[in-house]
Structure 1
Amino acid sequence: MIDSHVHFWNFDPVRDNWITEDMGIIRNDFIPNDILSTYQEIGMEGCIAVQANQSESETQFLLNLAAENPVIKGIVGWTDLKAENLAERLKHWKKFNLIKGWRHVLQAEQDDFILDDRFAKGVKTLDKFGYTYDLLCYHTQLKAIIKLVDKLPEQPLVLDHCGKPDVKTQALKSYEENIKTLAQNPQVSCKISGLLTEADWLNFTEKQIFSCFDIVFKYFGVDRILYGSDWPVVLVSRPYTDWFNLVQKYVAQFSEEDKMKIFCGNAERFYSLTVLSS
């Protein structure tokens, strides 16, 4: 099994100001050793380390961690996708085989950033280098994301955290309409991750989570869904294993072959992982 979405950081209260006081449990350092025992317990073989900070030093930090921690099977880094010298920077990073793709924290941007032609041009450049792109957004940004995706018919894309639906209120009508439209693009996959932090952290219900799963599985299907934990962010709500067990319960309805796709095969294919031992 592969966890397609984890983060590592050395906590800095200024740089990491998105980690607010009420998220106290994750206002700490998190490195691969902190997750290894949990992975061993549940049989998780490796992970994709995803950028949390908007800097190339973040990409190098993840590379340094991966050099010492083989549990990291791939990296989704950050580079300035609007930069004039983007191709030059990608050529530099291409020397590191563990870098599989890139991400920008679009949830912190306005629609004009998402729809900027320079940004679309930058994402389109990734395909020339064999890179993927992770789409991180709130459900309120999905219409803009759809317009962006329409410009990128050849670029492999994955929607992080199911597009962050409104788990709390369960106002999912427009969300479902947008997911249906987005999923019509065959180059787009979806990560089932991050939903607990969109819910009432302490009082969410299984039904609330599963209603969101119902939508993404309906439109993306088992061939384009990747399991992810969003660890350590998930810890603001529940321990890692609580999330893992919740996903396991939902996918019990599927065949063993389909479960293998969700927990391993789809991530292996999307991120071109070639380092699995089994």
Structure 2
Amino acid sequence: MLIDTHLHLIDRKRISYPWLEDVPDLNADWSYAAYDDMAQRLGIEGALHMEVDVDPTDIATETAMVAELMAQGGTLMRGAISSARPEDEGFEAFLDRLDLTVVKGIRRVLHVMPDDLSRSSLFRANIRKLGAHGLPFDICALARQLDIAIELIDACPDTEFVVDHCGVPDIAGGAYDDWAASINRLAQRPNVNAKISGITAYATPDWTVDTLRPYVEHVIESFGWDRVVWGSDSPVCTLNASLERWVAATHDLTAGASDDERALFYAFNAARIWDLAL
């Protein structure tokens, strides 16, 4: 069983995505129907929808879209990781309104925001509240921002965290040492997990499995098999690959693991972190 913990769907008729105009290769509708057709053939048996940095007025609409997909018979959709604004005074009221049968986690993209956003006392106080609600927080930060992420994590010891995309290493630029050291520091925090998701987007178009291997193996070695999860990052993975190729690369990268280790990485860790039924 393979659980995709990082699926983006885009419906431009229903929801506004202000950033898409700057990324023409992704500026299209990416439907659940098209994903489902491919995912079923690739052995993906469940998916979490990852928020797509929608206009703040459309956050509830995006969650409603996921709820509708979850209600369909035979659906792969297991829940939503919702966008939110922990920097706002209304965050606690926002949490209280959430349908936790649909919303399984929260993310606020940080890599495109000022570095100090997560350093405010209000932001940190609100992230601490996620622990009481049983909601993990996905961290999407650049490699150079991982030490700032550690500051947030240390301020919120009772909240579960998931570091997206292996911490966004600059694979294309060959950067490794500073990123690897930050991954080691992150892994020392027991409430942090790592998501190996769509890292082909950070490589050059001529990447191979061996290009990715040092990064993936370092994350797994640092966190251990019981704190890593898999994600497609579809459709972002299509920038330098395809969903099919990323799934194939994943199987190649884990070929030497035991059945139990692959089961943890592919599905069971996701079930633990986001309280999913398998």
Normalised by the length of structure 2, the TM-score is: 0.92
Residue 209 (structure 2) pairs with residue 209 (structure 1): no
* Aligned 1:14-33 pairs, distance under 5 A: 15-19=16-20, 23-24=24-25, 26-33=26-33
Give the Cα separation in 1 of the matches to 2:89 and 2:203. Answer: 39
Instruction: Give the residue type in structure 1 aligned to 2:81.
Output: V
Tell me how large the CA RMSD over aligned residues is: 1.8
Q: Which TM-score applies when normalising by structure 1?
A: 0.92
| Residue 16 of structure 1: how far off its partner (Å) | 3.2
Q: What is the aligned counterpart of 2:65 among 61, 68, 84?
A: 61
**Alignment partner, residue 273 of structure 2:** 270
Q: Does 1:195 pair with 2:199?
A: yes
Shift in Å, 1:88: 2.1
**How many angstroms does 1:15 deviate by?**
4.4
Does structure 2 retain, via aligned residues, the 8 Å contact 1:7–1:51?
A: yes
Matched pairs, number: 271
Q: SS at 2:105's partner residue?
A: strand
Preserved contact between residue 9 and residue 30 of structure 1 (Cα < 8 Å): yes
The 1-side partners of 2:216 and 2:33 are apart by 30
Q: d(CA) in 1 for partners of 2:130 and 2:81?
A: 12
Distance 1:22 1:128, change over 3 A: closer
Alignment counterpart, residue 245 of structure 2, candidates 242, 245, 249: 242
State the AA in 2 paired with 1:105. V
- Classify the secondary structure of the residue corresponding to 1:127: helix
Q: CA deviation at 1:65?
A: 3.4
Q: Is 1:252 equivalent to 2:267 in the alignment?
A: no
Does residue 122 in structure 1 map to residue 123 in structure 2?
no
State the partner residue of 2:83.
78
Deviations 1:53-78 (A, max 9, x none): 24223333333333337211021002
Residue 18 of structure 1 aligns to a residue in which SS?
A: helix
Amino acid at match of 2:180: E
* CA-CA distance at 1:38 after TM superposition: 1.6
- Indicate conservation of the 8 Å contact 1:120/1:152, yes or no: yes
Flag structure 1 segments of 5+ consecutive residues without an equivalent: none
> Do the aligned partners of 1:142 and 1:178 also contact (CA within 8 Å) in 2?
yes
* Pairing partner for 1:92 from 86, 97, 101: 97
Deviation at 1:22, TM superposition (A): 6.2
1:118, CA displacement in angstroms?
A: 1.1
Task: Return the letter of the residue paired with 2:77.
Answer: I
> Is contact 1:32–1:71 with CA below 8 Å preserved after alignment?
no
Distance in structure 1 (CA, Å) of the matches to 2:22 and 2:128: 38
Say whether residues 1:170 and 2:174 are aligned partners.
yes
Match of 1:104 among 86, 104, 108: 108
- Gap runs ≥5 in structure 2: none
Taking the aligned partners of 1:254 and 1:102, their CA distance within structure 2 comes to: 30
**Residues 225-248 of structure 1: per-residue CA shift (max 9 Å, x gap):** 101110111112212110011010
Equivalent pair of 1:23/1:236 in contact (CA under 8 Å): no
**Contact 2:209–2:253 at 8 Å: present in 1 too?**
no
Amino acid at match of 2:10: W
Counterpart AA for 2:115: D
Runs of 4+ in 1 over 4 A off after TM superposition: 20-23
**Which of 245-254 and 113-122 deviates more?**
113-122
